[in-house]
A and B are shown apart, each in its own frame.
Chain A
């Protein structure tokens, strides 16, 4: 089955700097890769996602890149702000009707220092 690894487990950056979180997956059939932000005591919030037919996607300060050959995808946050501090989870999944559910990475705790 699918296995998703995520690095680093913790990340501290100064406000205004960029943050990069990387995930690798094992199943070449996976083709949907969402990123979730989870604040303390709350449910995960989808912040960006990417499909296998796209190499990069950007939404304001957040971008995701996908390298299908190497089976890894990364979250890039530019101009970080204190409110970006949270736990970020990546996930991998296949097309729904193939019955594949999300497999989550272990998470990255991002701290943005003012």
Chain B
């Protein structure tokens, strides 16, 4: 149980284009999903928190117009990197919290998406 998938696992795009990354909870309802960014040999940096049916909450310093997050259903959240630039190249990881667990804090992580902007 508690499986989270991401698609695509890797993507290469040209500078100026937009890229959409999907995050799905496969066997549970994720009332809350999180998007992280990870640079090589560094820890995970929380970008935003999204609750199903409401606007995402972005961390300080994260541009909401550049990183569009949609959490339209209890099993799907998407991150769209708009007008991507080489500095957006990174490993993007989503996680999901099982809504059935009440006050529980467990987060289950997806396998990550490596974005390379040329």
Count of chain A residues near B, Cβ 8 A: 23
Q: Is B8 positioned at the interface, with any CB of A under 8 Å from its CB?
A: no
Q: Is A73 positioned at the interface, with any CB of B under 8 Å from its CB?
A: no
Q: Which of B105, B112, B114 contacts A95 (CB 8 A)?
A: B105
Q: Is A97 positioned at the interface, with any CB of B under 8 Å from its CB?
A: yes
- Asked if B34 and A101 make an inter-chain contact with CB atoms under 8 angstroms apart, the answer reads yes
- Asked if B109 and A107 make an inter-chain contact with CB atoms under 8 angstroms apart, the answer reads no
Please name all residues of chain A whose beta carbon is closer than 8 Å to the beta carbon of B93 when the two chains form the complex: 43-44
Q: Is A41 positioned at the interface, with any CB of B under 8 Å from its CB?
A: yes
Proximity bits, B35-57, A CB within 8 Å = 1, else 0: 00000001110100100000000
Distance of A93 Cα from B104 Cα, bound (Å): 10
Count of chain B residues near A, Cβ 8 A: 22
Measured between C-beta atoms, what is the minimum distance from A31 to chain B in Å? Answer: 8
Please name all residues of chain B whose beta carbon is closer than 8 Å to the beta carbon of A105 when the two chains form the complex: 43
* A44-B43 contact, Cβ under 8 Å, with A95-B103, A96-B97, A96-B103: no
Measured between C-beta atoms, what is the minimum distance from B97 to chain A in Å? Answer: 7
- Asked if A49 and B106 make an inter-chain contact with CB atoms under 8 angstroms apart, the answer reads yes
* A41-B105 contact, Cβ under 8 Å, with A101-B46, A106-B42: no
Contact sample, A vs B, 26 pairs, CB 8 Å cutoff: A36-B109, A41-B112, A41-B114, A42-B111, A43-B4, A43-B6, A43-B109, A43-B112, A44-B44, A44-B93, A46-B106, A46-B107, A49-B106, A89-B43, A89-B44, A95-B103, A96-B32, A97-B103, A101-B46, A102-B34, A102-B105, A104-B43, A105-B43, A106-B42, A106-B43, A107-B43
Other than the known A46-B109, A96-B97, what 9 A-B pairs have Cβ atoms closer than 8 Å?
A32-B105, A34-B106, A36-B109, A44-B44, A46-B106, A46-B107, A93-B105, A100-B105, A101-B34
B contact set with A: CB distance below 8 Å: 4, 6, 32, 34, 42-44, 46, 49, 93, 97, 103-112, 114
